Structure 1
Amino acid sequence: MYLYDGHFGGMHLVWWIIWIIFLAWIFFIPADIPYQRTKKDSPLDILKKRYAKGEISKEEFEESKKVLTSDN
């Protein structure tokens, strides 16, 4: 009798290995999915980033912040 009589040998074993690698890739490897919805920045967050980059002055930041945080 042969060691591998065709049940778990040959291509059958190769396909099991391929499936295990594929499932591990799906569940365990973190990756950014293209076109994935991301959290949108709020207008205040955008204002803070512009101030941090130096695109606007402190006065412009304070004035815009007042406008954004007002209830009107």
Structure 2
Amino acid sequence: MFFDHGYFMGGMHTFWWLFWLILMIAVVYAVWSPQRRSRRSERESPHDLLQRRLAKGEITPEAYEQAKALLDRDAGKH
């Protein structure tokens, strides 16, 4: 059961290698996960943001119309 001068399964060195391996796999998964890639490619437009705020009740319909008119006016300048 105990090998290599009293250490189990090659000693603590083995456990550190396992720790770093699991850590690196977790980091790679977090960077390349499908949810992150889809969130990067789908940016919310100002009109979508405005509609979402109206639906949540954060702004009144009058404020929505005013902001929408302002966005439409600014979009016509470019």
Q: TM-score, normalised by structure 2?
A: 0.47
Rg (Cα) greater in structure? 1
Q: TM-score, normalised by structure 1?
A: 0.49
Larger relative helix fraction:
2
